[in-house]
Amino acid sequence: MRIITTTMLLLCALSMHSQVGHLDFSVYDWPNQSTENTYNFTLNGQDIDVTIKIEPMFAGEWGCEGLAPREDGPGSLNAFGNNTHDLALCFTPEITGQSTIKATVTFTKPVTNVSFDISDIDFQDGENGHRDSVMVYADTDVMPTLSYKTENPTFEMMSTNTALGSVDNSLGDDDGTVQVSFGSDVIESFTIMYDDSAESADNRAIGILDQFFFTSASVLPVELVDFEARNLGDGQVEVNWTTLSEINNEGFQIQHGTEGVDDFMSLQMIEGNGNSAYRQDYTTILGNIPSGVNFFRLKQMDYEGNESYSDIISLYIEQDQEDIIISPNPITGSRFFVLNGGEIDKSQVSIFSLTGQRQSFQLTSNGAIHQINLPDLSAGLYILKWKNKTSKILIGGN
């Protein structure tokens, strides 16, 4: 048996690849007239609930056809800004004067890099006039940075966290949009105060929380600096990884699969070092690893039941059986041919990237000659599984 060893250096896979939460109201439902909802996100193996609570402080009724607060999107009756998917705060005051809506956003775990837009802040003079005022602040002394989205805003910055309408935004475009960012500051909640000084009982409205992004600020339990697999022959594979620090680390499950990201199974559990501020080297040997392409990843667990996963690495072992013939290889176009492959059904053929992602393809057979078309595949190395045989194919670009 010929052995090909594939290793991959993995930099801080469990602690540095921060996943981003995006509360997109074109995806997440906000029931019409609801004043409180909670949404769940899983970032780097940690669950974070985001709760939005709307508190009206006005003598009147909700606007936007009586359906507010509601999700607002492009083409809707009260669209704010261009291509927005936000939460519409519309109301019809019963009397003239100051009316306020308070929106509080709370996270169950500390977050950072919080940013979002608020749309349609403006001022209208005259008999039916009004002036929008928006103030944003966090649960601590942290203040956000406000910035104009366009060069012709319909509002002015009155302070670091307050915007006041100054010009009519009758077109409802991005001139009325303020961009809000808390940057790298860590917060657990923030509040939006929307005031409208109305001269009449006409409908008043803004859109909040468009382009709403955040990342987890919680300290992840493990700083992983490398992870590799090395073939020892006779079905044995040595797996090595190193951590630079560990917090509350119960241990690692070593997971293995041969069909990409969908079939991982845990083969071994390796005990962690609990709390450690020093380099820790781990190594173990796995048995009965088949020939062909193999995928490995680490599942890390802490004592509180939280889980996180490393990136996927691949290990390729060629088999002794007669090889199929691939022509051309490297592949310079969008198709190649398989010769000496015998009769085949498409269900017996798979193509994977080196990180286990299954790729789409079309198969056309004419006797012993088989043509495979590869639409829109990026240049790089891929794995072709043909019945029980495995080969590498190199795509050099379309």
Q: pTM here?
A: 0.54
How does DSSP classify residue 32? Answer: T
Residue 390 β-bridge partners: 385
Same domain as 374, residue 261? no
Domain count, the chain: 3
Q: State the average pLDDT for the chain.
A: 81
- C-alpha dist (Å) from residue 60 to 55, 97, 203, 208: 13, 12, 10, 20
Grade residue 243 by pLDDT with cuts at 50, 70 and 90.
very high
CA–CA distance, 229 with 113 (Å, rounded to integer):
35
Indicate whether 68 belongs to any domain.
yes
Task: Report the CATH number at residue 383.
Answer: 2.60.40.1220
218 Ramachandran zone, left/alpha/beta (phi>0; psi -120 to 50): beta
Residue that finishes a domain, picked among 294, 317, 340:
317
Indicate whether 371 belongs to any domain.
yes
Q: Which of 321, 327, 332 is nearest to 368 (CA)?
A: 327
What would the pLDDT profile of 178-213 be if each residue is shown by its tens digit?
A: 999 999 888 999 999 998 876 555 667 788 888 899
What would the pLDDT profile of 108-152 be if each residue is shown by its tens digit?
A: 988 889 999 999 898 887 666 778 899 999 977 789 999 999 999
Residue that finishes a domain, picked among 298, 317, 336:
317
Same domain as 250, residue 143? no
Indicate whether 24 belongs to any domain.
no
Same domain as 337, residue 192? no
Query: Could you please report the per-residue DSSP string of 132-176?
Result: EEEEEEESSS--PEEEESSSS-SEEEEETTEEEE-S--TT-SGGG
Same domain as 264, residue 156? no
Task: Report the CATH number at residue 254.
Answer: 2.60.40.10
Indicate whether 1 belongs to any domain.
no
Indicate whether 45 belongs to any domain.
yes
Residue 327 β-bridge partners: 337
Q: Which of 111, 104, 72 is nearest to 89 (CA)?
A: 72
Same domain as 331, residue 211? no
Indicate whether 10 belongs to any domain.
no
- Paired tokens of 104: 């509080």
36's enclosing H/E stretch is: strand 36-43
Same domain as 310, residue 388? no
Amino acid at 43: L
Report residue 176: phi and psi, to 5°: -95, 15
Indicate whether 6 belongs to any domain.
no
- What range defines the domain where residue 383 resides? 325-395
Q: Percent helix, strand, coil in the chain (nearest 5)?
A: 0, 55, 40
Residue that finishes a domain, picked among 159, 184, 216:
216
CA–CA distance, 138 with 91 (Å, rounded to integer):
25
What would the pLDDT profile of 258-302 be if each residue is shown by its tens digit?
A: 876 678 999 999 999 988 888 999 999 998 888 878 899 999 998
Grade residue 321 by pLDDT with cuts at 50, 70 and 90.
low
- Paired tokens of 244: 């630079």
Amino acid at 394: L
- What angle (nearest 5°) sits at the alpha carbon of residue 161, between those of residues 158 and 165? 45
